[in-house]
Amino acid sequence: MSAEKHDEPLYVISIVAKMVEMHPQTIRHYERIGFVKPSRTQGKMRLYSRKDVESLSRIAHFTRDMGVNLAGVEVILRLLEEMEELRRQLERELNEEVRENSPNRQRRAKS
């Protein structure tokens, strides 16, 4: 699935609450503290993406299943985000290295 579709605002809060088995007020609280950032319609209605739903499911797993408090969730989410950024950076560097060392490029350099 493309990142564009993953971030597309699709779901109202009542649907998301059922999907992640979470009270709407809890979801609103998580928005206030910055765990999710739903889009808003012109009428100010919240619309959540698949990415938001996945984030809320992950938060629910940490808090319900693992007993992590919200301060711990914040640290975990930040570390996961940093790890993902490092993974993307490494992937970019590896792709650049492959391009620089490709057989076609080496042949051209020898000519």
Render pLDDT for 96-108 as a digit per residue (tens, 0 to 9): 999 888 776 655 5
Render pLDDT for 84-95 as a digit per residue (tens, 0 to 9): 999 999 999 999
**Alpha-carbon distance 4 to 23, whole Å?**
27
pTM to 2 decimal places:
0.77
Class of domain 1-68: mainly alpha
Number of C-alpha atoms within 13 angstroms, CB side, residue 90?
6
Render pLDDT for 29-79 as a digit per residue (tens, 0 to 9): 999 999 999 999 999 999 999 999 999 999 999 999 999 999 999 999 999
The reported pLDDT for the residue numbered 4 is: 62
- Where would I find the H helices in 1-111? 3-6, 13-20, 24-32, 50-60, 70-100, 103-110
Which residue is it, tokens 């209605």?
Answer: 45
**Alpha-carbon distance 20 to 57, whole Å?**
6
Band of the pLDDT at 111, cuts 50, 70, 90? low
The reported pLDDT for the residue numbered 17 is: 98
Q: What are the sequence ranges of the domains in the chain?
A: 1-68, 70-111
